[in-house]
Structure 1
Amino acid sequence: MPLSALSPTFSTNPSASLTSISPYLSKFTTTTKTRRISKKIGVFTPKFSPISALSDPYVLQIAETLEDSVPSTSSPPLQKLRDNSSNTLLSTPWPSRKDEPFRFTDTSFLKNSTIQPTPPPKNQSLSPKNESLDTLLPTLSIIDGYITGSLNQLTDFPNGVYIGSLLSVDSEAILKRVSEYEFSFKGDLFYSLNGVGTPDVVLVYVPEGCKVENPLLLRYISVEGSEKESKSLPFSNPRVLVLVEKGGEISLVEEYVGGDKDQCYWTNSVMEVVVGEGAKVNHSYIQNQSFNAAHIKWTWVQQESNSTYEHIEVSTGGKLSRHNIHIQQVGPDTVTELSTFHMCVSDQTQDLHSRLVLDHPRGVSQQIHKCIVAHSSGQAVFDGNVQVNRYAQQTDAGQLTRSLLLEPRATVNVKPNLQIIADDVKCSHGAAISDLEEDQLFYFRARGIDAETARKALIFSFAAEVVDRFPNASIRKRVETHIRELLDPSCL
């Protein structure tokens, strides 16, 4: 019996009768493990709690399923994460189109599916479809949300650098540093579901003054999948914590790949990045999952004084793809650069919600967002917020979004938003939406180039401004090839 069936019995009256739900209490309370969420809501206890009236039964049902699927842990930081997340879920409803952050993002695809947490992977052999961007890069593989040891290709790193499972950390100094980190950021429902359902946390730790020369590839592989007609949705929750101490530097590449392009699954990912004073992080993010998959990702970044964070993103996969990126500058003289490119070549939704908060002087932020919608049922969403607060004087902030609509009924919803409270700043933002200009096509055709070739060249050059910013040549080449393949008429 789903928890939604019990919702009419919710009451804030301590003397309310439990007769109507007593046949089901044993089902929920006789599991082999103690459930944190069950103990916090009145429907599972002899006394009702006022918070039960605020709880969403469907959300609690998913949370219970996730909690039962993950092993118990003796790691205090991971336990704290799970507890904080479960507390948040008690008052977090499933989002609807009436909620402003999801006004243009339909999540009914998820709610109408049967959510099934992915089990730990067995010995998996990677197919050619899942070959890495560059096998020469140091690689950590995460299969269906689980860190795998057999596929790792990690080479030697400088002393003090740790890359791997949080549960496997044996350094007291690193454990102490991680314990000092508060998993306190409050994201949305999906952020909290990840906190409850993640089996482990990938920890990337760079000590003070250490510069990691080679880029680190974090490769997320979705193996479990279902047929579209089955309504079943395997659900994974990978999570990464990046701690870069004062003066440290590292380059990260996240690559999301899946099996067959028709498989259904849901990847619900979170990355938290702490950039210490004077430190630098270059973050590349490539999302190329199944056209029937759901991909929801949170990236939370905290920048201390004189630090630099660079983000380059290309997202082309997923039936529903949403990236929430929140950046908090907590010191002066910080530099933030965001470059994103999204493309819809099928019945897809590509959604980017970004928020950048500047609270200190002389901050610099530059954001460019580009998207192409090349399908009549495709949709792109951009909601970008830059907030320059009172003490963020002498800030230089720029935001630009450009979109190409290549089909008559293709849709893009853009909402650039620049909020300025400080009075000594240099800020700008802009938005442009169009199809290819006829005079641009005429320029090519007048020189003997056919219309189809000219169109492809112009579309690719539109994406190249972002793709060219990838710091690694092999990554740029692989992404360029992938985009050209998607622009082939057979793919559109």
Structure 2
Amino acid sequence: MANPVPFLEDFEGILPGSGTGWLDRLRADAQKTYQISGLPTPRTEAWKYTNLRQLARAGFVAARAGCSAEISALPEGCAALTDAYIAAFVNGCFVPSLSSLDDLPEGVEAVSLAAKLNTDAASLEGRFGDTDGLPLATLNTGLISDGLYLRLHDGVVLEKPIHLVSIGHSDGGPVSFHARHLIAMGAGTVATVVESHIGEGTYFSNGVLEISVNGGAVLNHYKLQNEGSEVFHVATNLVRLADGAVYDNFVLQVGAKLARNEIRAVLGERVECRLNGAYLACGEQHIDNTTFIDHAAPNSSSREVYKGVLDESARGVFQGKILVRQGSQKTDGHQLNKTLLLSPGTEIDTKPELEIYADDVKCSHGATTGELEEEPLFYLRARGIDPERARAMLVAAFVGEALDEMQVEGPRVAFRALVDDWLARRSKGQE
């Protein structure tokens, strides 16, 4: 099948590290694979509920360097973190003037991936993961250029969060960019990474984030997707958790025309993995959360709680699969997806799965869909609260149960404020 969008041709000649043998081969192999597969379609099981037809028709071209000069400060809509290191990107390119990484403690390396590829590509050989069966992640590999390279050496405890801010910008025709971020946590390290994805205009953000968490390390990883109404956002997160690692993840999606966040986590022994999230959509937004947890070793635990709120003609997708491999005894894995439908025109597709090849396990999954209950609405209105405010209070409580799963207070407070802002704008009819 021919490549249906001109991503590959547009990016020729602007990739850092060109001329490095292993990197050239990696890109070439990925480009060849993508040219054969093309964009996924609903005939692909993993994309059954998310159709990229509009993306294929939009005529995106590669975002060019230089547009960051038009942005002098971080736009509104980011997670409001009072004290954090900042790594800022505009259309996938690192922008030093918007970043603050100078005062990182010893043992922490946080640099532009493009700079790393141009000056020390040899150290990255073998660091990029396999994206077989993931067409858009494969496209990203074929176009590896810039992103955040974050490495914590053994034993480092990072007191302040790293705030990865991705700003999309298009003041002309539709553009695309394909950021690649690498996070490597040494043994016994502790860190919090917060992503904020914001921007206006028509653009396609196709990011890949690879995370490796070594033994005994703890990573709190929280993501906000708060982009404009003409944005296509696809993100693939590839997570490997070594023995004894702890990974706490939360994804809040409130923006974009079409958004898909996919997380694929492979768990070692005695791992704690929490994948949680909330999504709020209105108009004709389409928001897809897809997760895959691979219990590849015994004595690991996983928890998933995703809550969705859909209004007007919005559509939500939740696909969550837990795989327990043979020999992975004492696995404890649980998954729950709840969706609140505020209008008759909304739609939710939910597909929870368990695939178990061990007999001494505790695993469960569940999904519920419904409307706001009348009894608590009546209770609030009887106490003089107007109908819109009452609805907003109940929705906030519903989403708040998911937000409470976040282990770090600062990002949790920031995300809760963004949910409250979304509800306030809905109540005023400004969405």
Secondary structure of the residue aligned to 2:390 is helix
Q: Structure 2 counterpart of 1:146, which letter?
A: C
Partners of 2:232 and 2:269 lie apart in 1 by 38
Partners of 1:323 and 1:241 lie apart in 2 by 17
Larger relative CO (CA 8 A, sep 6+): 1 or 2?
2
State the TM-score, normalizing by the size of structure 2.
Answer: 0.92
Q: Which residue of 2 aligns with 1:11?
A: none
Residues 1:167 and 1:450: Cα distance change in structure 2 (over 3 Å): closer
Residues 1:57 and 1:448: Cα distance change in structure 2 (over 3 Å): closer
Q: Deviation string for 1:80-117 (max 9, x for gaps)?
A: 54234223214213222222222211211111111111
Partners of 1:446 and 1:129 lie apart in 2 by 37
1:138 alignment partner, one of 85, 90, 105:
85
For 1:202-217, list aligned pairs within 5 A: 202-217=148-163
Secondary structure of the residue aligned to 1:91 is helix
2:66 alignment partner, one of 92, 113, 121:
121
- The CA deviation at 1:168 is 3.2
- The CA deviation at 1:62 is 2.7
Partners of 1:466 and 1:214 lie apart in 2 by 23
- Residue 192 in 1 paired to residue 131 in 2? no
Partners of 2:51 and 2:402 lie apart in 1 by 27
- The CA deviation at 1:131 is 6.0
Partners of 1:277 and 1:176 lie apart in 2 by 25
- The CA deviation at 1:353 is 1.1
- Residue 360 in 1 paired to residue 297 in 2? yes
Q: Which residue of 2 aligns with 1:179?
A: 125
- The CA deviation at 1:491 is 3.3
Partners of 1:420 and 1:280 lie apart in 2 by 27
- Residue 158 in 1 paired to residue 105 in 2? yes
Q: Structure 1 counterpart of 2:98, which letter?
A: L
Q: Structure 2 counterpart of 1:360, which letter?
A: A
- Residue 253 in 1 paired to residue 194 in 2? yes
2:311 alignment partner, one of 374, 384, 391:
374
How many pairs are equivalent?
426
More deviation in 481-490 or 389-398? 481-490
CA contact (8 A) 1:121 1:143 kept: no
- The CA deviation at 1:133 is 2.3
1:463 alignment partner, one of 399, 407, 410:
399
Radius of gyration: which is bigger? 1
Partners of 2:283 and 2:181 lie apart in 1 by 30
Q: Which residue of 1 aligns with 2:337?
A: 401
| Aligned sequence identity (%) | 27
Partners of 1:78 and 1:466 lie apart in 2 by 41
CA contact (8 A) 1:97 1:104 kept: yes
Secondary structure of the residue aligned to 1:397 is strand
Secondary structure of the residue aligned to 2:263 is strand
- Residue 416 in 1 paired to residue 352 in 2? yes
Q: Structure 1 counterpart of 2:177, which letter?
A: S
More deviation in 286-295 or 188-197? 188-197
Q: Structure 2 counterpart of 1:491, which letter?
A: Q
- The CA deviation at 1:68 is 4.2
- The CA deviation at 1:182 is 4.5
- The CA deviation at 1:158 is 2.7
Secondary structure of the residue aligned to 1:211 is coil
- Residue 431 in 1 paired to residue 370 in 2? no
CA contact (8 A) 2:311 2:342 kept: yes
Residues 1:80 and 1:211: Cα distance change in structure 2 (over 3 Å): farther
CA contact (8 A) 1:121 1:144 kept: no
- The CA deviation at 1:77 is 6.4
The structure with the greater share of residues assigned to strand is 2
State the TM-score, normalizing by the size of structure 1.
Answer: 0.81
Q: Which residue of 2 aligns with 1:38?
A: none
Q: Structure 2 counterpart of 1:476, which letter?
A: R
CA contact (8 A) 2:3 2:36 kept: no
Secondary structure of the residue aligned to 1:285 is strand
CA contact (8 A) 1:69 1:117 kept: no
- Residue 239 in 1 paired to residue 180 in 2? yes
For 1:319-330, list aligned pairs within 5 A: 319-329=257-267
- Residue 92 in 1 paired to residue 40 in 2? no
Q: Structure 2 counterpart of 1:283, which letter?
A: H
Partners of 2:133 and 2:80 lie apart in 1 by 30
For 1:64-103, list aligned pairs within 5 A: 64-71=9-16, 73-74=18-19, 78-79=23-24, 81-103=26-48
Q: Deviation string for 1:46-104 (max 9, x for gaps)?
A: xxxxxxxxx42425x43222234435535566545423422321421322222222221
Q: Structure 1 counterpart of 2:216, which letter?
A: G
Q: Structure 2 counterpart of 1:349, which letter?
A: H
Q: Structure 2 counterpart of 1:238, which letter?
A: A
Residues 1:141 and 1:78: Cα distance change in structure 2 (over 3 Å): farther
Q: Structure 2 counterpart of 1:58, which letter?
A: P
Q: Deviation string for 1:155-214 (max 9, x for gaps)?
A: 4223221001234349x9x96653242432325221122122342242100111222111
Q: Structure 2 counterpart of 1:296, which letter?
A: V
2:96 alignment partner, one of 119, 130, 149:
149
Partners of 1:128 and 1:322 lie apart in 2 by 23
- Residue 351 in 1 paired to residue 288 in 2? yes
Give the superposed CA RMSD.
Answer: 2.3
Partners of 1:209 and 1:128 lie apart in 2 by 34
Partners of 2:407 and 2:332 lie apart in 1 by 24
CA contact (8 A) 2:277 2:307 kept: yes
Partners of 2:339 and 2:363 lie apart in 1 by 21
For structure 1, the 5+ residue unaligned runs are 1-54, 227-231
